[in-house]
Amino acid sequence: MGNSILIIDDEPDICRLLQLNLSKYGYKVKYVHALAEGWQFLKSHPTDVLFLDIHLPDGSGLEALPQIKKLYPALQVITISAYDNGLEKEKALTAGAAHFLPKPFNVGKLQEIITDVKS
């Protein structure tokens, strides 16, 4: 498995924080702020890991997840959300997410999470 990561999140600060920290580990990181942009990127760029926000301005990452996994079954998806009530996590994992990352998150654990989902 390669080292290409896409982040789909509408919060620019979260995107930059993830990109900065993941780049330190040698990952090629791209981010977009909407589902539509994410779909366009996935169509033309091989991607190994996707950080997918559940609540986006143009749709639900949670609702898009089954279709993403259908079209890109090898893609490892890490859902991220500020809404960590347990139900969101359960829905994300049931829909095919490899991991659920609640916001705020510990950037020190990012490498561990990536290694875990890629193994």
Give the residue extent of every domain in the chain: 4-118
**What CATH architecture applies to the domain 4-118?**
3-Layer(aba) Sandwich (3.40)
Q: Is the pTM of this model over 0.85?
A: yes
pLDDT of residue 73: 96
pLDDT value, residue 86: 82
Give the pair of three-digit tokens for residue 71: 């079209």
38-to-4, 15, 82, 107, 109 alpha-carbon distances in Å = 14, 13, 20, 23, 24
Q: What residue type is 72 in one-letter code?
A: Y
pLDDT of residue 118: 81
Rg (CA), the chain: 13
How many Cβ atoms sit within 10 Å of the Cβ of residue 112? 10
Q: Distance between CA 119 and CA 104 in Å, rounded?
A: 25
Q: What phi and psi values does residue 59 have, to the nearest 5 degrees?
A: 155, 180
Give residue 103's pLDDT. Answer: 87
One-letter amino acid at 102 equals P
Query: Average pLDDT per run of 10 along the chain, which is 119 residues long?
Result: 90 96 94 97 96 95 96 96 84 94 88 87
